Structure 1
Amino acid sequence: MQPYIISLLNHSKENLIDLWKKELEAVRTDNYLDSVSDSVYESTNQDFMQFIMRLISTDQDQAKEQLSSFAEKYIQSGWPLSYYTQGLQAFRRVILAILSEQESDVQAVLSTFNELETWIDGIINQLVYDYTGNWEDIIEMQKLSLLELSAPLIPVFESITVMPLIGTIDTARAKLIMENLLEGVIEHRSQVVLIDITGVPVVDTMVAHHIIQASEAVRLVGATCILVGIRPEIAQTIVNLGIDLSKFPTKSTLRKGIETALELTNKKMVNL
């Protein structure tokens, strides 16, 4: 930014801040921030305004780095991006009003304002970029966390573990199921693994293929796989599609599956 523009803004700093502060009150209502306490909103406004004023005289590379750090701080606190974009639009309006008061030459006003507008647009673009990137990272981390939780392997008896599956099984989740199964069988020294598909809404050829692959992998590491939770409609679908599940045992309920698993490990349930 040109030195004379920096000098102009610094010279009008107090007036600029006062006018901008009034504009930010309208931004609060537009962004549904009425539930935020007055003290928090006031503090955030001060941080925002002071930060932008510091950027005016900051080197471009340093400004970009500082802007990214600033954005990350408020992204993590859940502050909306629209507050900052609308706040910078308000800053733009205030600057134009001040320039119009101080300069009678229209061409000079437009020239100065165009440079300031380019500078403000750069800040907005950087904020949008940082917000988008951070939210994508957060969503990806949440997605991975959900995937990890969606394929748990639970030891229920000595040498017997259960993997309850809920929801749709896609290729990414099938890979995770396979990894968790193999790691869990070795970790828990399982002899029998029960895959419970009671919560799987649809079993098509792809889902059946993934389950068969998982069963084969378990067999190769020395354990037996039992498929449980075969509902009537699922059984009918499997038959209609011609899916061959004859290579490993299937049971209609988890209870029946556990009874079979106990028999395979030379154990049994006893009523006391």
Structure 2
Amino acid sequence: MSRAIHLFKDFLISREEKVITNILNSIDENQPEAFSKVTNQTKFNLYKEQITELIHLLERFLIGESDDEKINDWGKRVSEDNVRLGLSLSQSVHHFNSVRGALWEEISAMAERTNNFSAGESLRLGKLINDFIDDLILTFTYSFTGQATKRLRAQQEVIDELSTPVISIVDEVAVLPIIGDIDTHRARILMEHTLRETKNKEVDCLIIDLSGVFIVDTMVAQELFKIIDSLKLTGVDVNLTGMRPELAQSVVTLGINFDNVKMYSNLGQALKAFGIVRK
């Protein structure tokens, strides 16, 4: 371990609290919107903990005792926290710049207080710290991207579930209102969710309302047929309401057989056919 590294490590340990405070102040000054997303208590309990661990990792790195497993674990935990708090990747990465800036200030402060500390030693020490921060950013970014993707996927699953409600009307009769576009992904979700819900709710007859489907083409007709066919195979009687002329035309063009599916012009008509009337 070179003299400069040894001196800086000891200097950093002696001023650890001040360095951490400077980093937090820098983040607060340069990115007030990041702190606006969290409470003061969270700021000092979470952010300070993150920065403190980072400084400790740097201190171990400077004496040649860097632990990749601990660094990866730090990146994973911090990325999970930041994703949970709703911080963007750019906001999170900017925090590392605050760390980098504070550490360079410490190099300058040490150089001013230490005799025979050359500019070359300062630059070499700065490069070492830059390399450490850059590697940490890569580790963090990889983990953050994975966490953000996982969170978005979970949110999409919730949206998919909410957009395919099987609503029980009376015993063994339910309605599935489909609203919005139907693509291959949504058709798969519709099929999986509808098959599961009709089984769980012991539905014998399902009324699928298509009045909310505005964009219709051959793909929509094909996917709709697959859903109906799958339901019929499980013993569910399917009725359609609100089929638009464009969709009906696509069905005819494709030669899709809906002969065994009862059609109604609107949901009210279908419900009336089942003896369900508004009082």
Q: TM-score, normalised by structure 2?
A: 0.79
Verify: 1:138 aligned to 2:151, yes or no.
yes
Q: Does the CA contact (< 8 Å) of 1:228 and 1:252 recur in 2? A: yes
Amino acid at match of 2:54: I
Structure 1 residue 207: deviation in Å?
0.9
Q: Does the CA contact (< 8 Å) of 1:27 and 1:83 recur in 2? A: no
| Corresponding residue of 2:73 | 65
Amino acid at match of 1:193: L
Structure 1 residue 117: deviation in Å?
0.5
Q: Does the CA contact (< 8 Å) of 1:27 and 1:87 recur in 2? A: no
1:180 alignment partner, one of 193, 198, 201: 193
Deviates more, 1:120-129 or 1:67-76: 67-76
| Corresponding residue of 2:110 | 102
Deviates more, 1:123-132 or 1:193-202: 123-132
Structure 1 residue 253: deviation in Å?
0.6
Structure 1 residue 129: deviation in Å?
1.8
Q: How far apart, in 2, do the equivalents of 1:22 and 1:215 lie?
A: 60
3-state SS of 1:202 partner: coil
Structure 1 residue 175: deviation in Å?
2.1
Deviations along 1:72-118, one digit per CA (max 9) or x if unpaired, are 23432334544442232122223223323433411111111101100
Unaligned runs of 5+ residues in structure 2 are 61-65, 112-116
Q: Does the CA contact (< 8 Å) of 1:228 and 1:251 recur in 2? A: yes
Q: Does the CA contact (< 8 Å) of 2:271 and 2:277 recur in 1? A: no
Unaligned runs of 5+ residues in structure 1 are 263-267
Amino acid at match of 1:169: I
| Corresponding residue of 1:10 | 13
Q: How far apart, in 2, do the equivalents of 1:141 and 1:270 lie?
A: 38
Q: How far apart, in 1, do the equivalents of 2:160 and 2:178 lie?
A: 11
| Corresponding residue of 2:63 | none
Q: Does the CA contact (< 8 Å) of 1:169 and 1:207 recur in 2? A: yes
Amino acid at match of 2:85: S
Q: TM-score, normalised by structure 1?
A: 0.81
Deviates more, 1:214-223 or 1:192-201: 214-223
Q: Does the CA contact (< 8 Å) of 2:174 and 2:203 recur in 1? A: yes
Structure 1 residue 21: deviation in Å?
4.5
Verify: 1:23 aligned to 2:26, yes or no.
yes
**Residues 69, 184 of structure 1: alpha-carbon distance in 2 compared, 3 angstrom cutoff:** closer
**Residues 84, 219 of structure 1: alpha-carbon distance in 2 compared, 3 angstrom cutoff:** closer
| Corresponding residue of 1:85 | 93
2:135 alignment partner, one of 96, 102, 122: 122
| Corresponding residue of 1:242 | 253
- In the TM superposition, 1:180-199 aligns within 5 A as 180-199=193-212
**Residues 133, 70 of structure 1: alpha-carbon distance in 2 compared, 3 angstrom cutoff:** same
Q: Does the CA contact (< 8 Å) of 1:203 and 1:238 recur in 2? A: no
Deviates more, 1:57-66 or 1:36-45: 36-45
Amino acid at match of 1:71: S
Give the root-mean-square deviation of aligned CA atoms.
Answer: 3.0
3-state SS of 2:177 partner: strand
User: Number of residue pairs matched?
Assistant: 262
**Residues 64, 164 of structure 1: alpha-carbon distance in 2 compared, 3 angstrom cutoff:** same
**Residues 192, 95 of structure 1: alpha-carbon distance in 2 compared, 3 angstrom cutoff:** closer
Q: How far apart, in 2, do the equivalents of 1:191 and 1:172 lie?
A: 26
Amino acid at match of 1:53: I
Verify: 1:161 aligned to 2:174, yes or no.
yes
